[in-house]
Structure 1
Amino acid sequence: MSAGSTISSVETLGHLMSHVSSRYAERVMVEEADGRQFSFSQAEELVERLSNGVAKEVLPGQRVVINLANGYDLFFACLGVARAGAVAVPLSDQLTKVEVERIIEECDPALVVSSLDQIYGDLGEPEIHIDKHSTAAIFYTSGTTGRPKGVELSHKALLDRLNLMGVIGLVGPQSAAFGLPLSHLMGFIFALSMAMAGYRVYFFPKFDPKAVLDIIEQKRPQIFAGVPAMYRLLLEAGAESRRLNSINVWYSSADAMPTDLARKFQDFGSALSFGYASSFGSAAFIEGYGMVELGGAVATRMFPSMPFKSAAIPAGFRELLDNAGIGIPFGGAELKVSDANGSEVAPGTVGELWVKNEGSLKGYFKDKSATDAILANDGWVRTGDLARRGPFGTVYFVGRAKDVIKSGGYSVYAREVEAVLEDHPDVAEASVLGLEDPKLGEVPVAAVRLMPKSKIGVAEIVSWCQDNLAHYKVPRQIKIVAILPRTDTAKVKRDQLRELFEPEK
């Protein structure tokens, strides 16, 4: 392998598999939970066949809906569509029939793929070369803030920040495990990055915490990626008693990661392992901040790997790491905390986080009003996230603007109340929302899921809140639930929780 080929860039999704196959060839690219495997060269051949099948039905630039179950077939279909010069529209297999029909009507696709057999073609046709600034795919948002919207992302947006992953391939064969939906951007980007690095991936179409722990123990991957809810489920499934020391890097995104949970998993992993029984130090834990509209993560908060466990970190250094905010911008992203007019607010003042980034959305598909609402004229994206500036230019995430509860003239941040609830040793996770109130406008209420075998009651949780929160932040109603309803990206569906609570009188 020449140095030039090592760092050469991939400019379009359609070129990805020929590029990585030339480097990694017979390495295993993916092993799914049912044991099915693809080497890089086998995956390249499949993508070429799918591309040629698509090209017989679709013109460059037309849209192709990929309506397949979660798995690498969906990923390869997207790459095949891109190789044919068309635009992939991957759909979640968790959508209802009505939701699928609405998206298909909105997209007006030239083709809807419900089986790879539909687009399985011959070998031999070259890929269609298209501009890297053209739309590569349309990813639909998870719909937690209203009806899902189609986010148009270019080839450049999806690939530019990943090209350095090719350098990682120099260290030799490594492996990773994850079980994210590939129809959503976090899972898709992680699959792309692992392909660029030449990693073998152990993939779970449906996240199963016990199966994931088994694979980590048996197959010894070096990286795991998931959302915070998955880490909670791994902990509840017995992660503490498993041998997870092969993991050198834990990665999380899509929601705020509790610091104490990140520290636990740091210590489950290691800085370096020598086989099953011997290892030392703690793993790195990386938390990404981003959203679909930004083309993925634009900032990272890192808990670095240490030659000792996290409990031994000096107090001053621990405080510095724990107060790093959402992390360090990368890939040329710029962050500012703004008022409604785009002017930066004073340090310590809560404002909306705006991001300028070359990987941001081109727009929402067929939704000019929503596009105008999120994109400022000068290229800044209004994220809808509330944040504040701290010392040394750090940025702290406060919560979603839509999750601010206006109660009697006070602003109650749902994420702050959730963090206090989750600090209770018997509370596994919590979701806080605002309920209409005739006197105060809104009041906070909470749904909580308890740790296994916990017998704690509502009165004890209320008392905990009263000891740790100002009176106006204490939830007026608390419901203990067995599960919190979630999207397939593990975000809580707050609207479904609302029906649990009685209107305030």
Structure 2
Amino acid sequence: MTDILPAIPTIPRLLEQSARRYANSVAIEDGDLKLSYADLHLVAKIAARALMALGVEQGERVAIWAPNLHEWIVSALGIHLAGGVLVPINTRLKGAEAADILARSGVRVLISIGDFLGVHYPDMLAEHAIPSLEHVVVLRSARAGQTSWQSFMTLAEGVPEAMQQQRSAAVAAESPSDLLFTSGTTGRPKGVVTAHGQNLAAFAAWSDIVRLQAGDRYLIVNPFFHAFGYKAGWLAALIRGATILPHQQFDAQAVLRRIATDHVSFLPGSPTLYLSLLAHPQLGEFDLSSLRIAVTGAANVAPELVQRMRQELGFESVFTAYGLTECCGLATVCRPEDDVQTIATTCGRPLPGVELRCVDGDGNSVAAGTPGEVLIRGFNVMQGYFDDEAATREAVDRDGWLHTGDVGIVDERGNLRITDRLKDMFIAGGFNCYPAEIENLISSHPAVAQVAVVGVPDERLGEVGKAYVVLRTGASLSSESFIDWCREHMANYKVPRAVAFVAALPLNASGKVMKQALREVAAR
């Protein structure tokens, strides 16, 4: 890593360095707009000064709730240049879910999309109390009385550039760079705090391994609110001098068209993304000759899929990786020399400087090839959960090992294969779904007495949720109306795709729902 890039301690330093190194290269193409690296640096500094004009202080949290747009990146870099902490909000969340994160993180400034997916996003917060929130900046389709992106940027005129430079210079490698909320087994999202230096070190190494390079045209379909789209996405592109091509929503035909017209060379995504492209009836009509590198993860990949990605989509190399939000989103990755079987059946080896081991129920390391809980230790482990010391101590032990809750096997060559989960989490189309959180949301339905959600196999999405519901006495509810209600009250990927109404849930002697029994029923 150090042979190619010098150590970069902070994102402000990274942007400054990349603006010099790749000054005239295109950093972002978003529709008709093209921003060079030099111009991106300039506009990000304006955004930083505008945030400072709103009173944003060093270390203050600022949220972004928007799809993949060039303004998202400019806003995030502005937050970092102002010494702030980025809080990305999932665009699939409903008002109550987003308001909870905003309130708990004490956000005063929210940068939000206006109209998206048939909804005006600021309206979704209108009925929810967020005591700290003072300013909402609307990126596009601002309404009368709202602060538009354009008017927000003019606020920079009131802040001298020297003040912004001082603020950026005060950011250190250990300064928190972001606060990403990830759900836990308690059913309530937890905020993961990571720092500038560890994120940059992780994704400089990742970029080396997967051969992301200057001049690559990187179509980022993975959402910016997720570590895959943010850190392995535009942040890695800025490290390498690649061109960022933001994409707002996945649609197979639209992505195929963009590959052909925008000459996309670098395309990470979940296995579902590639399966959808391969299944498209007009696949052969698109010129995919520009494709070079694919990076995937979040689920095991069939060897046949890797072969088809190479043969039918034309990728030179396919990489698989593993990580979780609590370790900057990255822990292991396959290497260029790995064979198809290794790429498809493992998540590769740890990053340089990262340790990995699997342990039994007593915390003892297990032999190679033996299943155990996956533990990670290294520079990439989070600083902790926001305002939750107890949860932090539970996740990261005294010796610095992060307990992932995933069950895996490490082979003789050090490659990791994820085999199961200690927790009940399932992954739908690349999104982590936590049954306890979904169950908490469903429990507010007036007809529901009890509910348990489990992940079940799905050909297209990998896994989807199935709900087992005990109705209140005298209540009636159809499957269709139940699922429609869920779609109104939670992000789409969390919505159970099937429901079974049962007289009672299977419980163990201590009164806990036996999820494995439900999985076995679902598998019949």
Q: Tell me the residue number matched to 2:480.
A: none
Say if 1:176 and 1:319 are closer, same or farther in 2 by CA, change over 3 A. Answer: closer
Mean Cα deviation higher: 240-249 or 198-207 = 240-249
- Aligned residue in 2 for 1:118: 152
SS in 2 for 1:59: coil
* Aligned equivalent of 2:307, options 263, 273, 279: 263
Moved more, 112-121 or 62-71: 112-121
Determine if the alignment matches structure 1 residue 177 to structure 2 residue 219: yes
Question: Structure 1 CA distance, aligned partners of 2:225 and 2:498?
Answer: 28
Please say if residues 403 and 433 of structure 1, whose CA atoms lie closer than 8 Å, have aligned partners that are also in contact. no
Q: 1:194 aligns with which of 237, 240, 243?
A: 237
Task: Summarize the Cα distance change of 1:87–1:404 in structure 2 as closer, same or farther, 3 Å threshold.
Answer: closer
**Residue of structure 2 in register with 1:138 after alignment:** 179
Give, in whole Å, the separation in 1 of the partners of 2:209 and 2:379.
Answer: 22
Matched residue type, 2:316: A
Secondary structure class of the residue paired with 1:396: strand
Determine the C-alpha separation between the residues in 2 that align with 1:245 and 1:435: 43
- 1:254 is aligned to 298
Pick one of 261, 284, 288 that aligns with 2:321. 288
Q: Deviation at 1:178?
A: 2.1
| 3-state SS, counterpart of residue 335 of structure 1 | strand
- Matched to 2:152, the amino acid is Q
Pair 434,105 (structure 1): closer, same or farther in 2 beyond 3 Å: closer
Residue equivalent to 2:48: 51
Aligned to 2:330: 297
Counterpart mapping for 1:17-32 below 5 A:
17-32=15-30
CA distance in 2, matches of 1:259, 1:144: 32
Displacement of 1:10: 2.3
Equivalence for 1:67? 65
Q: Which of 321, 329, 333 is the aligned partner of 2:350?
A: 329
Q: 1:185 to 1:361 in 2, by over 3 A?
A: same
Take 2:211 and 2:371, find their aligned partners in 1: how far apart are those partners?
42
8 Å CA contact 2:306–2:344 kept in 1: the answer is no
Measure the CA separation in 1 of the matches of 2:400 and 2:7.
Answer: 25
> TM-score of the superposition, structure 1-length normalised?
0.73
Other-structure match for 2:418: 397
Q: Distance in 1 between matches of 2:243 and 2:265?
A: 10
Residue aligning to 1:210: 253
Deviations 1:24-81 (A, max 9, x none): 112111112x333222122111100011112231221122222334323122211111
- Runs (5+) with no aligned partner, structure 2: 112-136, 139-148, 427-453, 470-482, 506-524
Q: Distance in 2 between matches of 1:136 and 1:362?
A: 11
1:7 CA displacement? 2.6
Which of 389, 409, 412 aligns to 1:368? It is 389
Residue 262 of structure 1 and its aligned partner are, at CA, apart by 2.4
Q: Paired residue for 1:77, among 75, 96, 101?
A: 75
Paired amino acid for 2:189: P
1:153–1:404 Cα change, 3 Å: closer
The AA in structure 2 aligned to 1:154 is A
Cα offset, 1:154, TM superposition: 0.5
Match of 2:196 in 1: 155
Q: Distance in 2 between matches of 1:22 and 1:371?
A: 39
Q: Distance in 1 between matches of 2:51 and 2:290?
A: 41
Query: Are the aligned partners of 1:303 and 1:321 in contact in 2 as well (CA < 8 Å)?
Result: no
Summarize the alignment of residues 34-49 of structure 1 with structure 2, pairs less than 5 Å apart: 34-49=31-46
CA shift, 1:268, in A, is 2.9
Question: Which residue identity is paired with 2:330?
Answer: A
CA gap of 1:304–1:198, structure 2 versus 1, over 3 A, is: same
Write the distance in 2 (CA, Å) between the matches of 1:80 and 1:260. Answer: 43
Q: 1:119 to 1:285 in 2, by over 3 A?
A: same
How far apart in 2 are the matches of 1:237 and 1:84?
Answer: 44
Hey, what's the Cα distance between the residues in 1 that align with 2:490 and 2:34?
24
Partner AA of 1:369 in structure 2: A
Task: Give the counterpart letter for 1:366 in structure 2.
Answer: D
Once residues 194 and 488 of structure 1 are traced to their aligned partners in structure 2, the CA distance between those partners, rounded to angstroms, is 32
SS at 2:16 equivalent:
helix
Change in Cα spacing, 1:207 to 1:300, as seen in structure 2 (3 Å) is same
For residues 491 and 417 of structure 2, the distance between their equivalents in structure 1, rounded to whole angstroms, comes to 23
Amino acid at match of 2:259: I
- The DSSP-based 3-state class of the residue aligned with 1:251 is strand
**397, 401, 418: which is aligned to 1:380?**
401
Q: 1:178 to 1:68 in 2, by over 3 A?
A: closer
What is the rounded CA distance, in whole Å, between the counterparts of 1:170 and 1:261 in structure 2?
22
Q: Deviations over 1:275-316 (max 9, x none)?
A: xxxxxxx611011111111102211135759xxxxxxxxxxx
Residue type of the alignment partner of 2:229: G
- The SS at the match of 2:161 is coil
Task: State the shift of 1:221 in Å.
Answer: 2.1
Q: What displacement does 1:98 show?
A: 0.9
With over 3 angstroms needed to count, the CA separation of the structure-2 counterparts of 1:183 and 1:429, relative to structure 1, is: closer
Identity of aligned residues (%): 23
Q: Per-residue deviation at 1:436?
A: 7.4
Match of 1:224, SS?
Answer: coil
1:216-231 to structure 2, matched below 5 A, reads: 216-231=259-274
- How many angstroms does 1:499 deviate by? 2.6
Distance in 1 between residues matched to 2:394 and 2:193, nearest whole Å: 15
Aligned position for 1:97: 95
Partners of 1:71 and 1:181 lie apart in 2 by 10
Return the offset for 1:145: 7.6
1:339 and 2:360 are equivalent in the alignment: yes
1:499 equivalent in structure 2? 499
Give 1:195's aligned amino acid: L
Letter in 1 for 2:39: Q
Aligned letter for 1:355?
A: I
C-alpha separation in 1, matches of 2:256 and 2:42 = 32
Q: Specify every segment of 5 or more residues in structure 1 that has no aligned partner in the other structure, as ranges.
A: 271-281, 306-316, 406-413, 438-480
Q: Is the 8 A contact 2:10 2:200 kept in 1?
A: yes
Per-residue CA shift, 1:122-157, capped at 9, x if unaligned?
Answer: 472313422211211101126798322211011112
Which residue of structure 1 aligns with residue 289 of structure 2? 245
Please tell me the residue identity of whatever aligns with 2:181: Y
**1:256 Cα shift?**
3.2
Q: Give 1:501 deviation, angstroms.
A: 6.1
| Deviation string, structure 1 residues 217-257 (Cα, Å, up to 9, x no partner) | 22222211112222222223247423323211111133333
Q: Deviations over 1:157-196 (max 9, x none)?
A: 2111234658999975231212111111111111111111
How many residue pairs match? The answer is: 417
1:227 to 1:102, Cα distance in 2 relative to 1, 3 A: same
Deviates most, 224-233 or 378-387:
224-233
